[in-house]
Every structure is written in C-alpha cells, then in structure tokens.
Amino acid sequence: MRRCDYLFSLSNSKCITDSKHHKYQGEGTMNRTKCWISTVLLCLLTTASVFGDDNTYDVRDYGAKPDGKTLCTKSIQKAIDECAKQGGGTVYFPPGTFLSGTIYMKSNVTLKLDSGSTLLGSTNLKDYPPTVQAFRSYTDNYTDKSLIYGEKLQRIAITGNGTIDGQGAAFKGPYKVRPYMIRFIQCRNVLVKNVTIRNSPMWVQHYLACDDVLIDGITVRSRVNGNNDGINIDCCHQVLISNCNISSGDDAIVLKSTAARSCRNVTVSNCVLSSLCNGLKMGTESNGGFENIVMTGCSIYDTRLAGIALEIVDGGTMDRVVVSNITMNKVGAPIFMRLGNRARPFRKDIKPKMGVMRNITISNIEATGANPTGCAISGLPGHAIENVTISNVRLSFAGGGTKKDAARAIPEKTTAYPEYSMFGRLPAYGFYCRHVKGLKLRNIQLQLAKSDKRHALVAEECENLSIDDLDAPFSPDAGAIIRLTNVKGALIRGCRPPTGTDTFLKLQGTKSQGVLLTANDLSGVNRVAEITPNVPKTALSQLANHPTKKP
C-alpha cells in the first residue's frame, strides 16, 4: 500500500467519528475536520509517492506544438498513455500554448503546467467527443463533453503555475453542448493545485462521486458564459478546498448531490470568492444530501445573490454543517436557508421524499453592503428546519423597506426554485424565520444604511426560539423590532433596544404560547409589547427586565 493510500484509509477509519460522542454538533464536525485537514496536508507533502515516480513526459516529445494553433490532442494523449503504461509520472507542459480537444486522464498521472504554459481548449465542438459516464446522476441531462476527463481513476493530479483556458466565449449554444473544463467521475486521490483556470464554456470543474479530493491554491477567472460555476463538488466524500481565489459567472463554490450518494466530509477554507450568483452554496440538487460540511475563513465580495446559500429541495438530508469566520461585502443577502419540495428526481423512476435540514451552526459572520431583501430561513408546514444556531454576526443592510413591506404575507412557494430573492422583499430587514424548530440567535448585530420601516426580525410558525443579545436599529414610525406569529416557546433575553424605540415586540396568532422576556434593558422603549386580541392571555410573560414595564 502506498503511503498516501494508507493515509486516506486512515482518514476514513479513524478521523470520521460519530457526532453523537460530542456534546455539541459543531464541535464534532470541527474535530473531524481538523483530523481530515491534517491527513490531507500530510498527504500533500508526499505527492511524489502518490502520483507515480519521477518519470517526466514532455508533450513536445510526442509531437505537441506550443504555437496555440496546431491541434495537439493526439500528441498530449500519447504522452498521457505512455506515462500510464510505464507506471505513472508527470506529463509536462513547458511554456507555450497548446491547443487541444478532449484529453483522457489515466491513473497515476500528473499533468504539470509550467509557468507560462497554457492548455487552450479548442473552439470546435467536433474536438470534444461525447462521453457517457457509468455513474448515473441528474447531470446525465447536462453536457457530455469535457476538455480534461477522467473516470474510475486513482492518484491523478493537475498541478503547476500554468493556465487552462477554455475559450468559453466562443461557445454560443445551450449548456447541453458546451464542454466542462475539468470533469472527474468516481475517481480517488485527486489533487488540483496552483493552476489558473479561465474562460470555461460550462462548469469550470465537476467532481462527481469522487473520494479524497484536494483542491488547493487554484485561481478561477470565468465569467464568459452561462453556468460558469467555479467548483462543483457533487456526491463526493473527503474533500478539502483551500486557498483558492475564484471569480465566476455562476456559483463560486457549490456542493451538489445529483444522485443518491451524499456529499460527505467536505471542508472549504481560506478562499476568496466573487460571483454573479452565490458565493458558498449547497444545492440546488440535493437528492443524496450533505453531511459533515465545514466552510470557514472565506472572504466573499461583489456577489449578486447570497453569500451563504444552504438549500434542500430535491429530497436528501442536510446534517451537521458548520459555517464560520466569513466576511462579505456587497452581497444580495448574507445568509439564505431553504427547505423546499421541488422534488426533482435524478432518475425518472425515483421521486425523492421530502428532505430534512438540521444541525446547522453559523458563527462569526461580518457582512456589509447587503441589499434590502433580508435573510430568509424558511422550511415548510410540517417540515421544519431543525436545530439552527446563528451567533456572533454583524450584518449591514441597505435599508429602505416600507410599512407595506413589513405587512406582506409571504407565500410558501413549496415547489419553487430556491433563491434568496424568491419571496421578494421580506417583512424583516434582518432575519425572516418560518417553520424552524430549535433556532438560536445569539449576539446578532444588525445595521442599516438608511431608514427602514420593517421589523428587524420576524418569526412565524416556529418552535423553541431563542433570541439572545439582539442589537438592531429602530427607524421612526417603524414596526416593532421583533414580531412573532404563532411561535411556541420563545426566550428573548439580553436585548437593549435603542432609545426612542416605539415597540419592542409584536405578538400575534392564536397558537402563540410560552414567550418569555427576561433580563432585557427596555429603558429606551415606549411600549414593551403589542399583543393582538387573538393571542392567548398567558402567551407572554416577563422576568427581571429593566425597568419593569407592562405590555
């Protein structure tokens, strides 16, 4: 057994522990992640033993011309085939531009693009023969073409300081005929390191049902065509993405589950992201679900949709997710979470069951320049999002919401495509929470660029809600800072509304019960609570607030 094979085997057997042995879900996920990162970094130091001997095969020796005009597909493939035949090694691209159509990777082969070298994708679709993979997923409905393709391989790598350029702007057809740039399926021990990837015709990278994947230090610049996702991790296990700089036309880094296999044990860290869609996303395809996911230490900027988007709409279970230490600037919404029921099958004969979304921790988030929409955390009637903790966040929104916005009745949109803007402008400029059980909001600081007549936080049809240390501005003539509708069990404590606040809490709905205000500083509030007539008289209680006030 090669040294790194042993390390990956060790990561699967020793590091991935059952979270029930940990007091906190987030702690268990982080411990597993630390072990996985340590294993992968050690493996990275032993790449020579992973990806073959020191044998090097220069593509020029097999007829490749670095002039950017001569089609070098056959020559590059000859070098790859010979490298694999001799037991593995490095296929070397020296400085220059090498034009190519589809090349097929082989086990134990590293493609090394030296500084100044470019692997240039052909603009002729005839140079990309269709490839139908054995692993069936919803991506069967997408393109069957790729620039670099590998299936059921082991110990493969793409490294170096060179560039892969797909010339994506030249492809004018629908996504079903535009090639991926990198597509690996059911591969194990995959390394992509340091390269720059530009101008993809379709998804920049697609890793489907792969295990033990390390993507480190790459740069992506691709906004030349539709569907220009930066990195797609799909039904993969044991994945580490770190130190990447991505500017993409579609989602920057997105986890998908387009088949019955989950995305499991995935860590994204220390990345800089910008996107015309979402920054960090899980979904939309969710058939196999997501388990043990960590996203940490990333910077997201100039992103049109959500900075963080967590979505289950095609069945599957999202469980044990930790998002932490994220900064954002100029995003549509900092946080968007959706449990819906689009229920799109990855095969026609398998309709997914209603999905599950639970055990999610989001902490240490700083966001500025968010648009006026607000952050939605929304499940469905009878299918609540469960056990969500959001703590230590400071979010700044554009403001400008009206009283009409505050009074809007938000439709369920059960089967709709999930997007942060799917409900329009929300009744809350901060958080709109509906159908959530076990939601904990701690040390939440909200800011506004201009006056907003909406609530800071709205919760509807929620259970076991905890709001601790909410710091939110109040605009003159605005609605109550917090509005609860049919909430069962709520603890609101440690809040200090600003001086001049008209109403702190609005309570409504016949199912409201067990709402406790305690240890709040209400000295600057004109009215503690507005309670609508249909609320049970025992629904609200107060304890040790300052000063003591009646609703």
Q: Look at residues 137, 95, 124, 129 and name the one whose alpha carbon lies nearest to residue 112.
A: 95
Has residue 24 been placed in a domain?
yes
- 37 domain residue, yes or no: yes
- Alpha-carbon distance of 454 to 477, in angstroms, equals 10
Residue 160 backbone class (left: φ over 0; alpha: ψ -120 to 50; beta: rest): left
Check residue 388 and give its pLDDT.
99
- Residue 75 counted as domain residue: no
* Token pair 């309570």: residue: 507
DSSP assignment of 83-142 equals HHHTT-EEEEE-SEEEEES-EE--TTEEEEE-TTEEEEEPS-GGGS-----SS--GGGGS
Q: Which amino acid, residue 543?
A: L
* pLDDT given for residue 234 in this prediction: 99
pLDDT of residue 34: 53
pLDDT bin (cut points 50, 70, 90) of residue 348 is: confident
Q: How confident is the model at residue 20 (pLDDT cuts 50, 70, 90)?
A: very low
> What's the average model confidence in pLDDT over 129-137?
95
Whether residue 33 lies inside any domain: the answer is yes
Split into its structural domains, the chain has a count of 1
Residue 434 lies inside a defined structural domain of this protein: no
Bridge partners for 339 per DSSP: 312
pLDDT band at 3 (very low <50, low <70, confident <90, very high): very low
Find the domain containing 28 and state its range.
Answer: 3-48
| 359, 410 contact by CB (below 8 A) | no
pLDDT at site 32: 52
What is the Cα–Cα distance from 124 to 457, expressed in whole angstroms?
53
* Strand locations in 166-251 (E): 180-185, 188-193, 196-198, 205-208, 211-216, 219-222, 231-234, 237-242, 245-248
Determine the pLDDT at residue 370: 99
| DSSP tag of 12 | I
Assess whether pLDDT exceeds 90 at residue 29: no
Residues belonging to the chain: 551
Name the band, by pLDDT with cuts 50, 70 and 90, for residue 33: low
Confidence at residue 4, expressed as pLDDT on a 0 to 100 scale? 41
391 strand-pairing partners: 363, 442
At 35-51, the pLDDT tens digits run 555 555 545 444 433 45
Residue 17 has pLDDT above 50, yes or no: no
Q: Please report whether residue 22 resides in a domain.
A: yes
- What are the tens digits of pLDDT across the range 358-394? 999 999 999 999 999 999 999 999 999 999 999 999 9
C-alpha to C-alpha distance for 171 and 124, rounded to whole angstroms: 9
Percent of the chain past pLDDT 90, that is, above it, reads 88
With contact defined as beta carbons under 8 Å apart, do 256 and 285 qualify? yes
Going by pLDDT thresholds of 50, 70 and 90, the confidence category of residue 10 is very low
- The 10 Å Cβ neighbour count of residue 23 is 7
What's the pLDDT score for residue 44?
Answer: 47
Mean pLDDT for 21-35 is 48
Report d(CA 324, CA 438) in Å as an integer: 19
Q: What is the mean pLDDT of residues 107-136?
A: 98
Q: Are 416 and 442 in contact (CB under 8 A)?
A: no
- Does residue 10 sit within a domain? yes
Q: Is residue 112 part of a domain?
A: no
- Asked if 98 contacts 117 with a C-beta cutoff of 8 angstroms, the reply is yes
Q: Which pLDDT band, with edges at 50, 70 and 90, does 12 fall under?
A: very low
Q: Above 60 in pLDDT, residue 133?
A: yes
pLDDT at 351: 86
Instruction: Provide the token pair at 245.
Output: 């700089």
DSSP 463-498: EEEEEEEEE----TT---SEEEES-EEEEEES--PP
Query: What's the confidence (pLDDT) of residue 51?
Result: 53
Average pLDDT in the chain = 92
